[in-house]
Amino acid sequence: MEMINLSGNFFLNKLEEAKLHFERALDCKHTEFDDLYPYMIEHPQFFWYKRYVAWSELLTIVKLCEDTKIDWSECFEENQVEYVKKRVMSSTVLDCWYETNDTREHVGF
């Protein structure tokens, strides 16, 4: 059995993988989860569950980074950092994950 060096780079790589997994789930793209539960695709709640699993994975890696004093926030946009800190996968997270200050449209009425 090969030993794994649990360096900061290891956790940051896992964080990037978890972020990508969440974003693919958010975009309804194929993930490992689809391979594990192929029969679930037929059920409407599948995409919500898939997103929840990916969000939980992301939060777990963030927690490990925090526990080991690794700055995880540099891998995210400012709004995404706030969502992760709140730890709740709300409709705002789902709707605005990719939104940045540069892309917001301010509509005046």
Amino acid identity, residue 53?
V
Residue 3 in any domain: the answer is no
Q: Is-above-0.75 flag for pTM?
A: yes
pLDDT in tens, 19-69: 999 999 999 888 888 888 777 777 878 888 889 999 999 999 999 999 999
C-beta separation of 33 from 54 below 8 A: yes
With CA atoms as reference, report the closest residue to 97 among 20, 42, 32: 20
C-beta separation of 26 from 91 below 8 A: no
Domain extent at residue 71: 8-96
Residue 23 in any domain: the answer is yes
With CA atoms as reference, report the closest residue to 30 among 21, 43, 18: 21
Residue 65 in any domain: the answer is yes
Residue 108 in any domain: the answer is no
